[in-house]
Structure 1
Amino acid sequence: MTGSIAETPSNDNDLNQEQPPVKSTKAKLVDFARRALVVIVFAAAVYFIAVQWPQVQATVFALQWWQVLLSLLALIPGVLLGMYMWRVVMASLLRSVDIEPQGLVLNQIYLVGQIGKYLPGSVWAFVLQMELGRKNGIARAQVFVASLVSTGITIGAALVVGASALPILVQRQPNLQWLYVILPVVILAMNPNVVTFLVNIVLRVFRRPPLPERIQANTMVKAFILGVLMYLCFGLHLWILVGHEATLDLATFLVLTGALALGMTLGVLAFLLPAGVGAREAILILALAGMMSAGAATAIAALSRIMFTIADLLCVGIAYVHFRWRQQSASKTTVDSASEAK
């Protein structure tokens, strides 16, 4: 399957590693632009935290330290579940390739690419993932399709999870009734035949051959379950965060989880905003309005946003450290084997 839409990696693995091919000026410029983009998106994420901090510092200091810590820790498995969902879709596109050796690389492609959403226009997340994938010999079309399909599944999972909060949100903001119409449309669009049809349209735009077979139903189901679990982790984060202002019961958890899921979905649709800033907060404030004052709701929504950014950066750091550790372990094993052979 990879042969149908994969691009040929730029480096020839059969070349003598002691005499690597000299990169062209164009290749050097592309590498520089790729690194510059990574630096820019990380700087944008850090800048976002710095700008938002004055609005939330009073709220942070009013919370118990364990609330802040547990709330942040709840986000990390959620971010990683989103990564595994993307990998499930990517594995379906790379079915003829052993996916495990590329696992750590795929983790970095997804996690670093996700930081691109902190630039205005969430399209940068897709661009960065495509370029990082291309650097590692994976076709831009494959990466883009995996990201597009996983985004669609994420929206579907969000709308299903968000059904628990929709009645309350519609009561406070009737204009959100259109979400009732979108839900069945998205569920229908997640049919494997429909997804395959849409993917082939995207591949045609990229001037790549269509998929030789349809995306399997078990891929969609597995990715959808991971998406739901991801939102449950995110909901747990918010549930812990509001513990000093609201009653921590199951009903509150479901409402907050649903509101956060819907808010993140609106953030995806509001793609001109960095990471959907404003759209998510508006939904969260609506959901929190019945639990606390408007000022407290605004501060919690902003604090949640900052904590999401910190969790994204932490996950990238964890993935990088793990990747470097595995590389060093592999190098040490190679050296030890060579010494024993002598």
Structure 2
Amino acid sequence: MMRFLRPVLGLLAVGFLARRIYLDRADLATALSTLSPAAFGTALALVIAGLVAMMLAWRTVLADLGSPLPVPAAARIMFAGQLGKYVPGSVWAMVGMADLARDRGVPPGRTVGSATISLALTLGCALALAAARLPGAFWPVLVLVVCGLHPKVLAWALSVPFRVLRRPVPEHRVSGAGLIEAAGWTAVGWLLWGGAVWVLADAVAPAGTGWSLYPVAVCAYALAWAGGILVVLAPAGLGVLDGALVLGLTPALGGSAALAVAVAVRAALILADVLVAAAGLLVPAQARERKSTELM
């Protein structure tokens, strides 16, 4: 059944992505013409580097759960599977990753569990960064994030759907060391993504802004990303992320410049997803490994 669904899901993901590029072609062209090629190219490179860091965070969690993968294989699974986020709904990226990971003998439940933990890490880091710009909110949010990401809390949260479905609860648990390493890669990813927004914002900001705009860019994008991911019906955070980013950057840049940056960020995100997915698919598929008999 999954062999039938794989090309269907792939075609849907590519189709929705192509449709999004077509519908946004005028805005994307305007944004690209507003900014220098050097600024956009630097931002694109930082976005791609951030995606690689996030992939390494997910790979760390997956290995901690009992399924270590070589970096090329992990890149192929994550970057190709992540195109599913452009299909409306909130599960298609994980479905795509789980299907591709089967070829490496990874149980679907373990792939979904590791992706869920990675998403929780990314969201927790985003909320902590966003709260850094809200007086009095940073420490309460940070304490809440740290408590929510405790290995025992994550283990309990991940066991709930298995218990509801009356399926065997996964025997592997993410460790504190694994979470710390994955959180480190996640933090690196956020610094790179914030750098991409900063490069674009600095290109249209008033003279003399410089590095003082970097924390604004990081926190504004973190808040916008968190809003986009929490609205599960918005494919790839479309509309929610962009609007929130405009609101976050307007006080520092002005409305028109903030809008140009938001559109350029969207262009960089789409192009980066296309490039890393294409690069991931160029990695030769490994011979199908012996399937695990574990039911997860």
Structure 1: 5+ residue runs without aligned partners?
1-26, 171-176, 328-342
Aligned counterpart, 2:293: none
Indicate if the aligned counterparts of 1:145 and 1:202 stay in contact, CA closer than 8 A. Answer: no
Matching of residue 203 in structure 1 with residue 162 in structure 2: yes
Tell me the distance in 1 between the aligned counterparts of 2:121 and 2:203: 33
Aligned counterpart, 1:106: 74
Indicate if the aligned counterparts of 2:39 and 2:203 stay in contact, CA closer than 8 A. Answer: no
Q: Secondary structure at the match of 1:165?
A: coil
Aligned counterpart, 1:190: 149
Indicate if the aligned counterparts of 1:268 and 1:276 stay in contact, CA closer than 8 A. Answer: yes
Indicate if the aligned counterparts of 1:110 and 1:129 stay in contact, CA closer than 8 A. Answer: yes
Indicate if the aligned counterparts of 1:267 and 1:277 stay in contact, CA closer than 8 A. Answer: yes
1:164-313 mapped onto 2 (5 Å cutoff): 164-167=132-135, 183-205=142-164, 207-212=166-171, 214-246=173-205, 247-313=208-274
TM-superposed CA distance for 1:207, in Å, is 4.2
Matching of residue 41 in structure 1 with residue 9 in structure 2: no
1:80-99 mapped onto 2 (5 Å cutoff): 80-94=52-66, 99=68
What residue identity is the alignment partner of 1:144? V
TM-superposed CA distance for 1:292, in Å, is 2.7
What residue identity is the alignment partner of 2:212? A
1:14-53 mapped onto 2 (5 Å cutoff): 27=1, 30-53=2-25
TM-superposed CA distance for 1:144, in Å, is 0.9
CA-based RMSD of the aligned residues comes to: 2.4
Tell me the distance in 2 between the aligned counterparts of 1:300 and 1:185: 31
Tell me the distance in 2 between the aligned counterparts of 1:81 and 1:214: 22
Partner of residue 137 from structure 1, selected from 96, 100, 105: 105
Indicate if the aligned counterparts of 1:239 and 1:248 stay in contact, CA closer than 8 A. Answer: no
TM-superposed CA distance for 1:60, in Å, is 1.6
Tell me the distance in 2 between the aligned counterparts of 1:183 and 1:49: 37
Q: Secondary structure at the match of 2:102?
A: helix
Task: Indicate how the Cα distance of structure 1 residues 48 and 251 shifts in structure 2: closer, same or farther if over 3 A, else same.
Answer: same
Q: Secondary structure at the match of 2:204?
A: coil
Tell me the distance in 1 between the aligned counterparts of 2:172 and 2:15: 41
Aligned counterpart, 2:41: 69
Indicate if the aligned counterparts of 1:52 and 1:302 stay in contact, CA closer than 8 A. Answer: no
**Aligned residues with identical type, % of pairs:** 27
Tell me the distance in 2 between the aligned counterparts of 1:80 and 1:55: 27
TM-score (normalizing by structure 2): 0.87
Task: Indicate how the Cα distance of structure 1 residues 91 and 205 shifts in structure 2: closer, same or farther if over 3 A, else same.
Answer: farther
Structure 2: 5+ residue runs without aligned partners?
287-296
Partner of residue 163 from structure 1, selected from 122, 125, 131: 131
Task: Indicate how the Cα distance of structure 1 residues 148 and 75 shifts in structure 2: closer, same or farther if over 3 A, else same.
Answer: same
Who wins on radius of gyration, i.e. which is larger? 1
Tell me the distance in 2 between the aligned counterparts of 1:208 and 1:108: 29
Indicate if the aligned counterparts of 1:165 and 1:256 stay in contact, CA closer than 8 A. Answer: no
TM-superposed CA distance for 1:164, in Å, is 3.3
Task: Indicate how the Cα distance of structure 1 residues 48 and 215 shifts in structure 2: closer, same or farther if over 3 A, else same.
Answer: same
Q: Secondary structure at the match of 1:121?
A: coil
Tell me the distance in 1 between the aligned counterparts of 2:173 and 2:37: 49
| Offset from partner CA, 1:88-140 (integer Å, 9 cap, x none) | 1100111xx5x24x543332221112111111123211222222223443211
What residue identity is the alignment partner of 2:124? G
Aligned counterpart, 2:29: 57
